[in-house]
Structure 1
Amino acid sequence: MNPETSVMQQAQPGLRGPGIFLAQFISDQAPFDTLSNIAHWAASQGYKAIQLPTLGTRYIDLALAAESQDYCDELNAVCAKAGVQISELSTHLQGQLVAVHPAFDALFDDFAPEHVRGQPQARTEWAIEQLKLAARASQRLGLSAHATFSGALLWPYMYPWPQRPAGLVEEGFAELGRRWLPILDAFDAAGVDLCFEIHPGEDLHDGASFERFLEAVDQHPRAAILYDPSHLLLQQMDYLGFIDRYHARIRMFHVKDAEFRPDARSGVYGGYQSWVDRPGRFRSLGDGQIDFKAIFSKFTQYGYDGWAVLEWECCLKDSVQGAAEGAAFIERHMISKASKAFDDFAGVTSDLQSNRRLLGLSER
């Protein structure tokens, strides 16, 4: 079967959901241990799609998926039998390894296979190849978007003290662009958008840094955004205005809640406290401060074409409860776009000459 006509590429355009990202649910215990089991579980919770992490082979063998259409058709069939479809693949952890500052080498080495640990160059090359595999796998699965992180070379210099040397930021983004441009080209060849989650800890952590990256990759048409309002709220950004400004580049949506309650002890930076004690905390859907009615309205207004996917991260509520509540929450916020104007019933016929007469102008 031609990968461009895969069975899962038949979804209707527009805002779709609910979907669920599976990274936080991976386990050796059923029902989270196999693709079939977790797909049936997701369907039983009310989800219509699952977003698959690709590190390891529990749910998908990325290298095999990149080469075998039969294997990808089997994956799609397993999901269809359970009552869901694959919304997107994710290489968040591999994307992180495309660019790692030496200060984080030891912390991020565990994301990589043993044969490249302790070898930053080999690890980067492995990560880049993983992304290229993901491009081909996404194409074979009939997917149109892919989720990842950008990695970070500049994050240790995020706060400008001590003063950053002239040219440091520019060279950091130039190098980031050099590493990602061949990957973006691979996604372009596959017909898939590469969506960077705008996220603290990544060089692409807000709109300004994303714009710098676009400059570094020559405004590449496949360089897109995974929109997650929780990360914008915790930076005290205008997460609704972000949609107004970048909607043309937003091709993926994580539905995740958060709250920010600063006090006299700490604020945006969090004071090295645990998640439960920080002023900014991720919450289960409906328990935080994010205005999802406004977000879903803006996506409908701008014609967003993609899935609304729950990402559960909460320091208080259990993941199973958060997932059980999440599908219904997303379903309640879905909007069927109006097919006609509300005042069409009072419409009048018109033509150029009658319009000119109404304006007090002579006929043409």
Structure 2
Amino acid sequence: MRTIKGPAIFLAQFMGDAAPFDTLDHLAQWAGSLGYKGVQIPCDPRLIDLKIAAESKGYCDDLRGRLAAFGVEPTELSTHLQGQLVAVHPAYDALFDGFAAPEVRGNPAARQLWAIEQVKLAAKASANLGLSAHATFSGALAWPYVYPWPQRPAGLVEEAFAELARRWRPILDAFADAGVDCAYEIHPGEDLHDGATFERFLDAVGGHERARILFDPSHYVLQQLDYLDFIDRYHERISCFHVKDAEFRPNGRTGVYGGYLPWTERAGRFRSLGDGQVDFGAIFSKLAQYDYAGWAVLEWECALKHPEDGAREGAPFIRDHIIRVTPHAFDDFAASGADAAQNRRILGLD
């Protein structure tokens, strides 16, 4: 068994125009001062030049060195926004255009090609950084039809996933060439939003070895999925881990769907670590049991608490939940040293 690495922090929710949130170096210094050992880096041009990182090992070595000066290292790169744009239903074109480079906005076909190239570049950049996994979204073609009313026509979902696989298969091959896992965050709004949809996608890409999972229990709480059973079922495919809390408190007015209410009024809402309902003790135990070798990365999203407080509290919370795995069985002290012949005598077979 291997001990989970961490604590680490996803930088996306903390980026801003003012120090210490304005540059990668400032963010790394801030994260290191809070006790984090790693940073998950969104592929945003303010933090990393993705094209240069994909082409230059020297650039990546320099980036690692800059982070090391503050006591942190890169855990994964993230293309959540670019991955979302690999597959966009036309209903969401206007809303998602802001995720793309200015030169491809208003042109869905060009935007899709740009997004695919971005994620492929991230595969090469991850390899140059010495990373083993990458975090992303799948995008969604079928999401507008998630609730079957009006009744979905036969074959609609199958065609959506076939097309999703056609778009992602070349990207997954690029990750295979780079030796990096492509971990999809299982997330409402994506076509990969639960175990059943991940299985459907995995079948459509022929069980691709690099198609993996970013496990974030908060999204399972809001869907009312059993996140511990999910680990039992899919642990061999989990390559990334977002440590994010949530709570679900339904009433006679609203439940899973949220009633279009603001986050503070929803039955399901994200919370800072320790303020929600997620059983992190059980999660860290299962991941240790199944030999999860990756990082435990805080993703802060809370309807109530200030992000800086959430970040400050997150590092010790994760650190205290990481299980330093035992090198031997607890009862080894009582080992009898029996051999095969003695075992047969004990069983009365001689």
The size of the alignment, in residue pairs, is 350
- 2:3–2:322 Cα contact (<8 Å) kept: no
Query: C-alpha displacement at 1:14, in angstroms?
Result: 3.8
1:309 aligns with 2:297: yes
Map of 1:7 onto structure 2: none
1:196 aligns with 2:184: yes
1:283 aligns with 2:271: yes
Map of 1:16 onto structure 2: 5
2:209 is paired with a residue whose SS is coil
Map of 1:261 onto structure 2: 249
One-letter code of the match for 2:104?
V
Map of 2:115 onto structure 1: 127
- Output the CA distance in 1 between the equivalents of 2:282 and 2:3: 17
1:47 aligns with 2:25: no
Query: C-alpha displacement at 1:359, in angstroms?
Result: 1.4
Map of 2:76 onto structure 1: 88
One-letter code of the match for 1:195?
A
Map of 1:36 onto structure 2: 25
> What are the Cα deviations for residues 218-260 of structure 1, in whole angstroms up to 9, with x where unaligned?
0000000000000011100000000000000000000000000
One-letter code of the match for 1:273?
L
What's the RMSD between the two structures over aligned residues?
A: 1.0
Please give the residue correspondences for 1:34-113 in structure 2 after superposition, counting only pairs within 5 Å: 34-55=23-44, 57-113=45-101
Map of 1:4 onto structure 2: none
- Output the CA distance in 2 between the equivalents of 1:13 and 1:294: 17
Q: 1:184 aligns with which of 153, 162, 172?
A: 172
- 1:13–1:306 Cα contact (<8 Å) kept: no
- Output the CA distance in 2 between the equivalents of 1:103 and 1:193: 30
Please give the residue correspondences for 1:105-184 in structure 2 after superposition, counting only pairs within 5 Å: 105-184=93-172
Question: Any stretches of 5+ residues in structure 2 without a counterpart?
Answer: none
- Output the CA distance in 2 between the equivalents of 1:194 and 1:33: 28
- Output the CA distance in 2 between the equivalents of 1:95 and 1:296: 28
> What are the Cα deviations for residues 153-193 of structure 1, in whole angstroms up to 9, with x where unaligned?
00000001111000000000000000000000000000000
Q: What TM-score comes out, normalization by structure 2 length?
A: 0.99
- 2:182–2:212 Cα contact (<8 Å) kept: yes
> What are the Cα deviations for residues 194-226 of structure 1, in whole angstroms up to 9, with x where unaligned?
000000000000000000000110000000000
- 2:123–2:180 Cα contact (<8 Å) kept: yes
1:42 is paired with a residue whose SS is helix
- Output the CA distance in 1 between the equivalents of 2:308 and 2:298: 12
- 1:300–1:337 Cα contact (<8 Å) kept: yes
- Output the CA distance in 2 between the equivalents of 1:343 and 1:207: 37
Note closer, same or farther for the CA distance 1:13–1:59 as it changes in structure 2 (3 Å cut). farther
Query: C-alpha displacement at 1:13, in angstroms?
Result: 5.7
Query: C-alpha displacement at 1:118, in angstroms?
Result: 1.2
Query: C-alpha displacement at 1:114, in angstroms?
Result: 1.6
1:289 is paired with a residue whose SS is coil
How much identity, in percent, do the aligned residues show? 68
- Output the CA distance in 2 between the equivalents of 1:68 and 1:29: 29
1:336 aligns with 2:324: yes
Note closer, same or farther for the CA distance 1:198–1:71 as it changes in structure 2 (3 Å cut). same
- Output the CA distance in 2 between the equivalents of 1:148 and 1:357: 57
- 1:174–1:216 Cα contact (<8 Å) kept: yes
Question: Any stretches of 5+ residues in structure 1 without a counterpart?
Answer: 1-11
- Output the CA distance in 1 between the equivalents of 2:81 and 2:267: 26
Query: C-alpha displacement at 1:326, in angstroms?
Result: 0.1
Query: C-alpha displacement at 1:342, in angstroms?
Result: 1.3
2:337 is paired with a residue whose SS is coil
Please give the residue correspondences for 1:203-218 in structure 2 after superposition, counting only pairs within 5 Å: 203-218=191-206
Query: C-alpha displacement at 1:358, in angstroms?
Result: 1.4
- 2:2–2:291 Cα contact (<8 Å) kept: no
Show structure 1 runs of 4+ deviating over 3 A.
Answer: none
- Output the CA distance in 1 between the equivalents of 2:174 and 2:40: 21
- Output the CA distance in 2 between the equivalents of 1:179 and 1:115: 21
Q: What TM-score comes out, normalization by structure 1 length?
A: 0.95
- Output the CA distance in 2 between the equivalents of 1:74 and 1:135: 18
